[in-house]
Structure 1
Amino acid sequence: MVIAVSVVAAAVGLLGAGYVATQHSGGGRTAAADNGRDTGKPAGTPAAAAPAATASRDPMPATIPGLGPKTLADVPAASRQVLVASGQAKDSSNTLVTLWVKLPDGHWRPGATWRGHNAKDGWTTDHHAGDLHSPIGVFTLHDAGGFDADPGSHLPYHHSDSFHAGGVGFDGEPLDEAFDYVIAIDYNRVPGTSPLDGTQPLGADKGGGIWVHVDHGGPTHGCVSIPAPDMVTLLRALQPADHPVIVMGDSTSLQS
């Protein structure tokens, strides 16, 4: 889940999230996905001959499913990696996150789908500091970092003890590990700087500190979050040369 966070002013500011820093305890979470498929054939049906095991694979889509023409128009033509965070509803904090990769033939291949969270009160097209909504839109991804050491990120990785939140979330869950790994979402920030950099080109009222970070099991202040093992997978997958972006919002808004 992402947290529209602040990094307490003295520690370079968890921008507007209002967390209190406490001692970090470490740890992570796991996630599982059911990728099974029913073939629809009755038991005992002989298998048809095929020239190769891959001959029955469904073709990859020419466009990313669930994204409408307006949303797709905002995705840069050079972007070959698109992280889609599709919220359950406009006022929901539950999100499904999938990394799509553009193939040489122009089709798109999906990765695993990860269950995560967004802001407590859902999504908005007019985000403001402290409104407990995640911003809807298409944003570039340039910089990463975290309390834990670089797990193999291809994005510039800023390792610092200042990446910690502490306290508890909206559901009483501990936040201590939320910033073990983060990816800065380029909403109201300067790309090419540490996620901890508090510069806000649109002004403080528009909020900032919107990240992809480790899920803690509940809503965020504005960020998108996914489980720790999936954050590691994502950090290792994103390639600067593929100009990665995140497309984020509730599923209905993204279909526009």
Structure 2
Amino acid sequence: MPMTRTRTTTHPATARTRLGARIVALLSAVGVALGAPAAPGSAATPRAVSPAPRIPLPAAMADTGGGTQLLTARARTTGATTGTVRWWQRHNGRWRQVGSAPARFGAGGLAEGGSRVQGTATTPTGLYDLPFGFGTAPAPPGTTTPYRRVGAASWWCEDNASASYNRWVEPLPPDCAAGESERLAGYPTQYSRALVIGFNYHRPVRGRGAGIFLHVHGKGATAGCVSVPAGAMARILSWVRPSAHPHIAIGTVSGPTALTRH
């Protein structure tokens, strides 16, 4: 018996639907190739954007003291009593951060160094050198900056009437009143290790302020100095090199006392 063939007929509407789908797919492919916007509801992959390079703080400053080592002590505003100390090294013309630590400032906040008034418990803003270190404890290993050990007769004269105003004295001279000076051994925690900040030091102006140091934290804000934790103070003393002409810049994030204005 011969095989019977069954004829299949496609309905015209179905054929038109399939043709339309092929056309839509083709147009979509052409649109993608030409960079057309994605169809509504489709997920577009965002293009990766590289973040802008971050400029080191010293590179944004007008003056860093001319050396290759710099400490920056920055508070958010002049009314702040806390902030951050960072230390930086310049190599081949580029600054890199070596370390950082939480900092405390004067109980009266910060004040512009050129017009600061003694007895206001304010930390002077500005750019200063670091003449020498001192402490009741030995200098940490690796220290090369000049370092003086505090003894029972070591004082910092802060008497405006004294010829030794804003100087280390040992013993206390007759013209320097003890009540207006600091006996350094009386602060074994804060002055366990410290660096003299060269504020009003080389050509002292009477009444502007004396005894401004970078020293170890006490119980709270300072009387005008900058303080950091004991471990940070030891690392800083081991790091500073007289040959690198280190300086410290003290200031705020913005405004007239901003660090970038130095």
TM-score by length of 1: 0.63
Q: What are the residue-to-residue correspondences of 1:41-120 with 2, within 5 Å?
A: 64-65=56-57, 68=60, 72-77=61-66, 79-104=67-92, 106-120=93-107
Which residue of 156, 162, 165 maps to 2:146? 156
Is 2:248 the counterpart of 1:246?
yes
Structure 1: how far apart are the matches of 2:110 and 2:211?
Answer: 16
Match of 2:223 in 1: 221
Instruction: Give the whole-Å Cα distance in 2 for the aligned partners of 1:76 and 1:216.
Output: 29
Match of 1:29 in 2: none
Pairwise CA distance, 1:66: 7.2
Q: Which has the larger radius of gyration?
A: 2
Note if 1:128 corresponds to 2:117: yes
Contact persistence 1:124–1:135 (CA under 8 A): yes
Counterpart Cα distance in 2 of 1:95 and 1:158: 28
Note the aligned Cα RMSD (angstroms): 2.2
Supply the distance in 1 between the matched residues of 2:109 and 2:148 (Cα, whole angstroms): 29
Q: Which amino acid aligns with 2:241?
A: Q
- What SS does the corresponding residue of 2:234 show, helix, strand or coil? helix
Q: Which has the higher contact order (CA 8 A, sep 6+)?
A: 1
The number of aligned residues is: 174
Match of 1:234 among 209, 233, 236: 236
SS at match of 2:57: coil
Q: CA deviation at 1:202?
A: 2.8
Q: Distance in 2 between matches of 1:67 and 1:244?
A: 16
| Structure 2 Cα separation of the partners of residues 149 and 204 of structure 1 | 32
Q: CA deviation at 1:83?
A: 0.1
Contact residue 150 and residue 185 of structure 2 kept, 8 A: no
Separation (CA, whole Å) in 2 of partners of 1:88 and 1:179: 26
Instruction: Give the Cα separation in 1 of the matches to 2:145 and 2:76.
Output: 29
Shift of 1:88: 2.5
Sort the Cα spacing of 1:102 and 1:66 in 2 relative to 1 into closer, same or farther, 3 A. Answer: closer
Q: Distance in 2 between matches of 1:88 and 1:113?
A: 16
If the length of structure 2 is used for normalisation, what is the TM-score? 0.62
Give the number of the structure whose residues are more often helix, by fraction.
2
Structure 1: distance between partners of 2:205 and 2:100: 34
State the identity as a percent: 25
Assess if the C-alpha contact under 8 Å between 1:164 and 1:178 holds in 2.
no
Q: Which runs of 5+ in 2 are unaligned?
A: 1-50, 155-183
